[in-house]
């Protein structure tokens, strides 16, 4: 794909084929692939053993270096003080009575962020 490989690749879609491509395109010996996207529970990641034996590195991350317990209060403060723009990522708003709709949107890949309101 890259005639030698890239030093770093980051996969963010959750597509298993994209994850495999991200890993297989890194350079032998020092290439690092980071998987950020979340695939379905049933998804299987398969690659040739030589890709691992050639010292490519595969890393997965759910939150990166973010630690919710210690970092969340400062993130909330930044949002409340208008220093962090999150509203532009909200794609849907649903009442709690329609929470299943929010999950359906997420599974279909149609909802970037859904706000679930406790009031109907």
Domain count, the chain: 2
Q: Structural domain of residue 19, as residue ranges?
A: 8-60
Q: What is the pLDDT of residues 19-61, one digit of tens each?
A: 999 999 999 999 999 999 888 889 999 999 999 999 999 998 8
pLDDT at 1 exceeding the cut of 60: no
Residue from 37, 32, 30 nearest 58 by CA: 32
CATH number at 13 reads 3.40.50.720
* 19 domain-assigned: yes
Classify residue 29 as exposed, middle or buried by CB count within 10 Å of its CB (0-12, 13-18, 19+). Answer: exposed
**Res 28: pLDDT:** 92
* Helix intervals (H) in 34-88: 49-53, 68-80
C-beta of residue 52 within 8 angstroms of C-beta of residue 29: no
72 shares a domain with 49: no
Q: What is the pLDDT of residues 74-119, one digit of tens each?
A: 989 999 999 999 888 899 999 999 999 998 988 888 888 889 998 8
48 shares a domain with 80: no
Q: What is the pLDDT of residues 60-74, one digit of tens each?
A: 887 767 777 888 899
* 3 domain-assigned: no
- Residue 101 host element (H or E): helix 99-108
- From CA 4, how far away is CA 1, in angstroms rounded? 8
**Res 106: pLDDT:** 84
């Amino acid at each position: 794909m890259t005639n030698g490989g890239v030093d770093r690749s980051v996969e963010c879609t959750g597509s298993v084929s994209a994850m495999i491509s991200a890993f297989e395109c890194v350079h032998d010996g020092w290439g690092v692939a980071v998987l950020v996207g979340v695939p379905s529970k049933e998804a299987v990641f398969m690659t040739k053993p030589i890709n691992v034996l050639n010292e490519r590195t595969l890393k997965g991350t759910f939150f990166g270096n973010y630690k919710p317990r210690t970092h969340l209060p400062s993130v909330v403060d930044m949002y409340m003080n208008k220093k962090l723009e999150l509203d532009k990522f909200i794609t849907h708003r649903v009442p709690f009575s329609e929470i299943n709709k929010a999950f359906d949107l997420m599974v279909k890949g149609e909802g970037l962020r859904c706000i679930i309101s406790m009031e109907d």
